[in-house]
A and B are shown apart, each in its own frame.
Chain A
Amino acid sequence: MATMAQHDTSVSLLNDVLRGRVTRRGLLARATALGLGTAAIGTLVRLHDTAARAQSGGTPTGSVTWALPSDPANLIPFGGVSTSNMWGKEFMYDSLLAWDRDLNIVPALAESWEAAPDATSYTFKLRQGVTFHNGKTLTAADVKYSFETALNPPEPGIKVAFLENVASIEVVDDLTVTINMSKPDPTLPGVIAWQRYTPIVPEGSGDEINWLSEGIGTGPFRLVEYISNDRVVYTAFEEYWDPASAPCIQELTLKILNDEQATVAALRAGEIDGGTFSADVARTLENNDEIEVLRGLFAAPRVIHFNTVNDVPWRDVRVRQAINKVVDRQEIIDKVYGGEAELTGAIPPGYGDWPLSADELAQLYATDVEAAQALMAEAGYADGFSVTLQAIAAPREYTQIAEVVREQLKQINIDVTVEPLEIGTFAKNIGEGSFEWASTGRGMRGDPSGFVVDFRSGTTLHVAWFGDGWKNDEIDAAYDEALATTDVARRHELYRRIQQIIAEDAVNLYTVQPYKFQAVRRRLSGMYVAYTDFNPGLRTACVTEE
């Protein structure tokens, strides 16, 4: 789409404006060249002035209300926290490392780090003079405390598998900390940069405050209050350690609004400044002069899981391949997502340079009904079989994908019953492996291995989902090798191979990766759709008074 390409360049212009890298005259020239409307140019000029003010030692100004579609439930820093928990608390915490917008790992609280050649330990040099919200200065002891708490989180936290190889945390000196691994593990930097499971908190703070509703971190915003099912309020932290990404907004309110139509109404009326919307709703906002629609990929591959624990027809690879040849992903993209989605393998598109390319996927997913019918006949299932496909009931998309697939599979006589389930029931079934097929979505991972771990035999989910019904020695070997080497080129090769096998074998039916849409009022600038599914743009976004 032409407008999207144009948008990308306006974003880079916007970034330059926000970082003060462009003069007022240069700005006008570039904006005109991009063919921006007067309203947009006006906003850019205002922004330019705001940014200039901020850089000349200006203080954060203005207040912003951002809509969250679900309650964080709590703000606990450690444990297997949910995405909505992260949305509620991400602004008050930092970790040792961070991702930039393209998922490159960059220093954060650690100004440098070094991995042992065999990836059995990592040494982090901490930044000097970082202050917590309570005035305390960051030391290695705080990092040790934070990681140890992450390994053994208080309830309702649950230990996360991503940190299972961390053996011990060693304070070398005041500003140096070494993390020892129980075995070589190249995934740690990615998991830390993800920030989801490794926030850094002051030593002992778990005994001083109630982490469920309070928090002390080093992040750009300080927590003011959290009211369940209502709002989380933050204020700018003026002693933030990184002047280059200091907060620009004075007061940030996260308002919980579950109803999308009501959220749109609030956005139109200026009651909120932005939020996340479905593709359909975002389209209705595109012609509104006061609102800008942002679009981007995020890690949420949609997938239909096949359970092969019992002796079922789809234990036969030919049956799975037949299914793969009949399911037309383009129809899912068009019918369920209005064209706003991409093909996906096990590692979703946009996840750095790890996923298979769109062309490769198009080839792997090419439809061929006749070949599929032949495969079914060969496997002895020419007359098909019946199967129940469980799907998350809300949001609707999982059920809609299931319905499209049901219709398509009629071509090879597979009789699918779609069973929409409330999320609690669905979560229980999928965790226990009590389903035949299940339509769900996967989330972000700190390291590519996280996207394919289910296919390594012997892991928890492999046992629950595949049992004795499916296992692949080549994947097992590749998976283990990729986790034992820090050679990035080799890891790329291995994960490519794993993804190819998963697609060729049709172990699971990966379908599509939808785009995520956010809409913001033009007074808010510098926001972008983040691949992580979090909202890091708000950390540095600016606001002008209308």
Chain B
Amino acid sequence: MGLFILRRLLMLIPTLLGMSVLIFLMLRLLPGDIVDIIVGADPQADSAARQRLREAMGLDDPIPVQYVRWLGDLLRGDPGVSLRSGKPVGQILWQSLPITVELAVLAVLMATVVAIPLGVISAVKRDTGMDFGARVAGLIGLSLPNFWIATLLLLFTSTQFGWVPKTRYISLFDDPLGNLKQMWLPAAAIAVQLMAIEMRMTRTTMLEVLNQDYIRTARAKGLRDQVVVYRHALRNALIPVITVIGFQLGALMGSSAIIEVIFGLNGVGYTLLQAIFNRDYPLVQAAVLYLAIVFVLINLVVDVLYAVLDPRIKQA
């Protein structure tokens, strides 16, 4: 197991190198650079002034030179400073990290707690009214984009209760209750769709597993229905579901940007989005690399979990 993890961690290196080249090039393919943004769409500055600024920011060097310089700094532990705010990139990401992580974890938690039992019930009571209801609800949840749900939720709570979540982020460690009061709504907006996906996934795999021979054997042994479902079937059905959950967690690190924008939370996604608009190269590069690392690590955790759930994978 240790070797497996180590091998996966080593594979991170070429992955990240490839990622870094890609993001570096793609960013520079975007038309316009930070100097154009600073000067704005209503320009009065002449081209000499623009050129001087580009030189001061090191943007006039050939791209390979810029890349090697950036990579060298990064390896020495310095991801650079934001071209717009002048703050160290590490500090900016560190500030926004807890918000995004909490939002993602909370949303996935909310989704999972509801979706897995619902999926199991739906599968066990297949083709009953309850199953039908759950499936329709799932289909609706799947079709609603989370930003739309978020906006509706906000309009609803603000007009009906005169309440919206605090726009100033309250740290979970300073005030856990205040934090949850603030975060449940954005998390719920994200959770709806995740819930639908997880529910449908659980139901499908459960149905598959329930038709397996070992389930029949378990029933034939005379085990109680509950034991069959929860100990034998669910455990085996969960493997694909966990893949999905892991994928969702990773994706949420960046894709919750829209929800962060709507609720005014300066998470990683929001920061990245703004940085792209600003062509703030160092910040975008660091944020994307960070997302890549998180994604790979979450996949690693998922793989380890597989092995725990299904010993056959470990032996293979």
Residues on A facing B (Cβ under 8 Å) = 65, 71, 73-74, 79-80, 82, 155-156, 158-162, 210, 212-213, 227-231, 253, 255-259, 261-262, 264-266, 268-272, 392, 422-431, 440-443, 450, 453, 460-461
Question: When the two chains form the complex, which single residue of A255, A429, A443 contacts B167, counting CB atoms closer than 8 Å?
Answer: A255
What is the CA–CA distance of A428 and B54 in the complex, to the nearest angstrom?
14
Contact B151 A423 (CB under 8 A): no
What is the CA–CA distance of A429 and B37 in the complex, to the nearest angstrom?
11
Query: Is B32 at the interface (CB under 8 A from chain A)?
Result: yes
Shortest distance in angstroms between A165's beta carbon and chain B's nearest beta carbon?
Answer: 14
Contact A161 B45 (CB under 8 A): yes
Contact A74 B85 (CB under 8 A): yes
Shortest distance in angstroms between B275's beta carbon and chain A's nearest beta carbon?
Answer: 9
Contact B86 A210 (CB under 8 A): yes
Report A-chain residues with C-beta under 8 Å of the C-beta of B154.
261-262, 265-266
Shortest distance in angstroms between B104's beta carbon and chain A's nearest beta carbon?
Answer: 18
Shortest distance in angstroms between A387's beta carbon and chain B's nearest beta carbon?
Answer: 20
Report B-chain residues with C-beta under 8 Å of the C-beta of A162.
44
Contact B261 A258 (CB under 8 A): yes
> Residue of A at shortest CB range from B84?
A73
Contact B264 A158 (CB under 8 A): no
Given known pairs A80-B39, A427-B37, the reply for A268 and B162 (CB within 8 Å) is yes
Shortest distance in angstroms between B251's beta carbon and chain A's nearest beta carbon?
Answer: 21
What is the CA–CA distance of A227 and B39 in the complex, to the nearest angstrom?
23
Contact B167 A228 (CB under 8 A): no
| Contacts A80-B40, A427-B41 supplied; 8 other A-B pairs, CB < 8 Å | A213-B87, A227-B95, A228-B92, A262-B164, A262-B261, A266-B154, A428-B33, A460-B46
Shortest distance in angstroms between A441's beta carbon and chain B's nearest beta carbon?
Answer: 8
Shortest distance in angstroms between B267's beta carbon and chain A's nearest beta carbon?
Answer: 9
Instruction: Mark contacts of B82-101 with chain A using CB atoms, 8 A cut-off: 1 yes-contact digit, 0 otherwise.
Output: 11111100001001100000
Report A-chain residues with C-beta under 8 Å of the C-beta of B150.
262
Question: When the two chains form the complex, which single residue of A71, A80, A271, A425 contacts B38, counting CB atoms closer than 8 Å?
Answer: A80
Shortest distance in angstroms between A332's beta carbon and chain B's nearest beta carbon?
Answer: 19
Question: When the two chains form the complex, which single residue of B32, B50, B84, B157 contacts A74, counting CB atoms closer than 8 Å?
Answer: B84
Report A-chain residues with C-beta under 8 Å of the C-beta of B132.
none
What is the CA–CA distance of A461 and B164 in the complex, to the nearest angstrom?
47
Contact A230 B169 (CB under 8 A): yes
Instruction: Mark contacts of B131-159 with chain A using CB atoms, 8 A cut-off: 1 yes-contact digit, 0 otherwise.
Output: 00000000000000000001100110111
Shortest distance in angstroms between A426's beta carbon and chain B's nearest beta carbon?
Answer: 6
What is the CA–CA distance of A253 and B168 in the complex, to the nearest angstrom?
10
Report A-chain residues with C-beta under 8 Å of the C-beta of B42.
440-443
Question: Could you list 19 A-B pairs, sorted by A, with CB under 8 Å?
Answer: A80-B39, A155-B56, A156-B34, A156-B86, A228-B82, A228-B274, A230-B266, A262-B261, A265-B155, A268-B162, A268-B164, A269-B163, A424-B36, A425-B32, A426-B32, A426-B41, A427-B37, A429-B31, A440-B42
> Residue of A at shortest CB range from B41?
A427
Residues on B facing A (Cβ under 8 Å) = 30-47, 49-50, 53, 56-57, 82-87, 92, 95-96, 150-151, 154-155, 157-159, 161-169, 261-264, 266, 270-271, 274, 277-279
Report B-chain residues with C-beta under 8 Å of the C-beta of A424.
30-33, 36-37, 277, 279
What is the CA–CA distance of A74 and B84 in the complex, to the nearest angstrom?
6
Report B-chain residues with C-beta under 8 Å of the C-beta of A426.
32, 41
Shortest beta-carbon contacts, A-B, top 3: A212-B86, A428-B32, A424-B32
Given known pairs A229-B274, A428-B32, the reply for A265 and B164 (CB within 8 Å) is yes
Contact A431 B163 (CB under 8 A): no
Given known pairs A213-B87, A228-B92, the reply for A271 and B164 (CB within 8 Å) is yes
Shortest distance in angstroms between A194's beta carbon and chain B's nearest beta carbon?
Answer: 13
What is the CA–CA distance of A257 and B92 in the complex, to the nearest angstrom?
18
Which residue, of A162, A229, A423, A429, has the highest number of chain B Cβ atoms within 10 A?
A229
What is the CA–CA distance of A423 and B270 in the complex, to the nearest angstrom?
17
What is the CA–CA distance of A344 and B278 in the complex, to the nearest angstrom?
30
Contact B36 A228 (CB under 8 A): no
> Residue of A at shortest CB range from B263?
A262
Contact A228 B168 (CB under 8 A): no
What is the CA–CA distance of A70 and B162 in the complex, to the nearest angstrom?
25
Contact A213 B85 (CB under 8 A): yes
What is the CA–CA distance of A224 and B151 in the complex, to the nearest angstrom?
31
> Residue of A at shortest CB range from B81?
A212
Report A-chain residues with C-beta under 8 Å of the C-beta of B278.
73
Which residue, of A423, A424, A460, has the highest number of chain B Cβ atoms within 10 A?
A424
Contact B56 A266 (CB under 8 A): no
Report A-chain residues with C-beta under 8 Å of the C-beta of B162.
268-270
Shortest distance in angstroms between B130's beta carbon and chain A's nearest beta carbon?
Answer: 35
Question: When the two chains form the complex, which single residue of A227, A228, A269 contacts B157, counting CB atoms closer than 8 Å?
Answer: A269
Which residue, of A73, A261, A268, has the highest number of chain B Cβ atoms within 10 A?
A73
Given known pairs A80-B44, A460-B46, the reply for A156 and B57 (CB within 8 Å) is yes
Report B-chain residues with C-beta under 8 Å of the C-beta of A450.
44
Report A-chain residues with C-beta under 8 Å of the C-beta of B56.
155-156
Contact A257 B266 (CB under 8 A): no
Contact B45 A156 (CB under 8 A): no
Report B-chain residues with C-beta under 8 Å of the C-beta of A428.
31-33, 36
Question: When the two chains form the complex, which single residue of A159, A392, A429 contacts B45, counting CB atoms closer than 8 Å?
Answer: A159
Question: When the two chains form the complex, which single residue of B45, B82, B279 contacts A80, counting CB atoms closer than 8 Å?
Answer: B45
Shortest distance in angstroms between B97's beta carbon and chain A's nearest beta carbon?
Answer: 13
What is the CA–CA distance of A268 and B162 in the complex, to the nearest angstrom?
6
Which residue, of A74, A210, A423, A427, has the highest number of chain B Cβ atoms within 10 A?
A427
Shortest distance in angstroms between A544's beta carbon and chain B's nearest beta carbon?
Answer: 18
Question: When the two chains form the complex, which single residue of A213, A228, A429, A443 contacts B271, counting CB atoms closer than 8 Å?
Answer: A228
Contact B41 A265 (CB under 8 A): no
Report A-chain residues with C-beta under 8 Å of the C-beta of B53.
155-156, 158
Report A-chain residues with C-beta under 8 Å of the C-beta of B39.
80, 158, 427, 431
What is the CA–CA distance of A429 and B40 in the complex, to the nearest angstrom?
11
Contact A265 B157 (CB under 8 A): yes
Question: When the two chains form the complex, which single residue of A65, A230, A461 contacts B43, counting CB atoms closer than 8 Å?
Answer: A461
Question: When the two chains form the complex, which single residue of A73, A158, A430 contacts B49, counting CB atoms closer than 8 Å?
Answer: A158
